[in-house]
Structure formats: structure tokens, C-alpha cells
Amino acid sequence: MAFTAKDVQALRQATGAGMMDAKKALEANDGDMEAAGQWLREKGLGKAAERSDRENTQGAVALVITNGVAALVQLKCETDFVAASDQFKGLAQEMADAVAATGEGAVQDFSARIDDLKLTLKENIALGPVVRFEAASGNLLDSYLHQQGGRGVNGVLVEIAGGTQELAHDIAVHIGFARPKYLTREEVPADLVDRERATLETITRNEGKPEAAVPKIVEGRIQGFFKDVVLLEQPYAKDDKQSINQVLGGATVVRYAQVEIG
């Protein structure tokens, strides 16, 4: 009985098997879907779907910068043992290279290989965040990738205007460790600021501060909140007497991205 690519896909979806295993199953059973599904089950090749609910907080971050284009890709798994394997890290890097070359949509071409890797490595493996930057004319890209156990675990991309390559790299390293959530104060959602302000007012009153002093104390603490979450207002990691905005001088951070395991 003949079978088509749609039959292979249907069997994969039904069993969680990899593409090549689904094809082999149909070939071995003359295209009979039910028999092919049983064949996969007997050989222990239809278990990927059962793994999809398992927590996958480990993984690897792959990074590439080439010819004014940069990409970050996270591939997730369950254990650091699998994350450090050459097969796993190699796939993550291939995807990052493809994203840099043709765009974020390139990761869709790797779905079958991710499914096959689930079976090979017997873990819940899934794609995480995918980021691609293409620098505007005259701007600079730089990066930072923190390694742990032979794989990337914390990747940063940054694009700056009006600065040097060294400055761009220093800012990327700072972001890697300081983990800002926003570039500017204006990007912080108003409802988040309101909630933080209300929390700080409660904390201040619970400390027994005089009521007349509460607004001033809360305002000082809300400024500290912005220093924690806003890149431009953070104390510079190499010299905490300067803010990132001061370190930049006349340069501008156009955008940044951070992708981290965990």
C-alpha cells in the first residue's frame, strides 16, 4: 500500500515519533497507519508526545554575529547533561546560523530535527526564544555569551549608535550580569510602576515612618526601583559611581536582547 508525505506527518502527530521513524514504520507495514503505530510503540519510538509535559528548564543558547547581522537562539531540554552534548549544541548553533542568514522564520525548517532529537536523547526538547538583529547603517553590533559546562547559558545582543566596538561589548557584558528588563524609564509599564509605588508606601508605613515623610521616602525608593530594572539608569558593573547613561557619553543604545537558561 502506497503512502504519502501527509501520511508520514499524520503518523508523527499521532505517535510523537520522528519523521524518519514514522517513514520507516509505514514502509515496514505497507502504509497501514494502525500497524505502523503499533510498530512504533513496540520499538519504543513513539514516546516523544509523552515527554512534552515534562519540565525543560535546561538547554543551550547559541549566538552568531556576521556582516552586521546577529542572532540568538535558545534550545530547551530537561537536563544539563543533554544540554552539553555535541548533538544538542550543534543543532542550536545551526539554527542560530540559519536565523542570521535568512530570518527568524528559518527555525521552522528544523521542527522535524527537533522531534527526532527528542527521541534520540529521550527528553522534552523545544525551541525557546529566537532573536535577530540587523544593524542600521553606521551602527555597531556586539554580544556576550556566558558559558557553563561547555554550552552557552546567557546570551546578549546589543546595537549601539555613535560609539565604539569596545563600548558596545562592555555594555553587552554589563547586561549579561545586571539583567535589565527595560532600556528606558518610559518603557516600564505604568501599571507596574503604580503597583511598585503602592507596595513601597505600605512597606514605608509598616516601618513606622512619620506620615509627612512617607511621600519623600517612597519617591527615593521608586528611583531605586528604576535603577534596578532600567538599563540606562543602572550603575555600571565596572564602575558603580557611573550610570550606563553616563558611560555611553554621546553614544546611544538602540536596542538589546538577553536570552538566558532557567
pLDDT digit string, tens, across residues 49-91: 455 556 778 999 999 999 999 999 999 999 889 999 999 999 9
CATH topology assigned to domain 189-229:
GTP Cyclohydrolase I; Chain A, domain 1 (1.10.286)
Q: Please state, in angstroms and as integers, the Cα–Cα distance from residue 149 to each residue in 71, 85, 155, following that order.
A: 22, 10, 15
CA 86 distance to own-chain centroid = 19
Give residue limits of the domains in the chain: 5-46, 58-183+237-260, 189-229
CATH ID of 5-46, from 1.25.40.80, 3.40.50.300, 3.10.20.30, 1.10.8.10 = 1.10.8.10
What integer is the mean pLDDT of 31-58?
69
Collapsing DSSP to helix, strand or coil, 240 comes out as strand
pLDDT at 45: 63
pLDDT mean over 170-183: 97
Range list of β-strands (E), the chain: 58-66, 69-77, 126-134, 140-148, 151-161, 235-236, 239-243, 252-260
CATH number of 58-183+237-260: 3.30.479.20
Q: Compute CA 235 distance to the chain's CA centroid, rounded to the nearest angstrom.
A: 25
- In tens, the pLDDT along 110-145 reads 988 998 888 788 888 989 999 999 999 999 999 999
How buried is residue 14: exposed, middle or buried, by Cβ count under 10 Å (0-12/13-18/19+)? middle
- pTM of this prediction? 0.78
Whether 77 contacts 87, CB under 8 Å: no
Residues near 166 by Cβ (< 8 Å), separated by ≥ 6? Answer: none
Same fold, 58-183+237-260 and 189-229: no
The angle that helices 19-28 and 33-42 make with each other, rounded to 10 degrees, is: 120
Q: Is the pLDDT of residue 168 over 60?
A: yes
Model pLDDT for residues 89-108, shown as the tens digit of each residue: 999 999 999 999 999 999 99
Diameter of the chain measured on Cα atoms: 85
Q: In 3-state terms, what secondary structure has residue 224?
A: helix
